[in-house]
Amino acid sequence: MMIDPVFMLRCVDCDAKGALSCLWIRASLETEHHRHHRLLHYVECLNCGAHLKSQYRDLMEVVDDEEWRRFVDDEVELGLPSGLEMQRLH
């Protein structure tokens, strides 16, 4: 049985306090830049409310409010940048 590495990660703040963490994946973003593939998981700790990002198998980073609002916030309106239109492929 294979387990995604994000499920093995722990909240930075809760881990420092010795408390259990309960992470909720709020968003996963897949990016490609110059042939370099990257998968980011934005998670929220349900124990302490911390907003975190996982880029690597064993590293969690605290996310600032601006980045969280940009990629995760429930109020974000997803869509294309201005000037671009969707086209139906036949």
Residue-by-residue DSSP string for 47-82: TT--EEEEEETTEEEEPPHHHHHHHT-TT----PPT
Query: What's the CA gap between 54 and 36, in Å, rounded?
Result: 17
Nearest to 8 by CA among 45, 42, 58, 52: 58
pLDDT at 79: 54
pLDDT at 57: 65
Encode pLDDT of 12-67 as tens digits. 888 889 888 788 888 888 877 777 777 888 889 888 999 998 876 667 889 999 98
Q: What is the pTM of this model?
A: 0.66
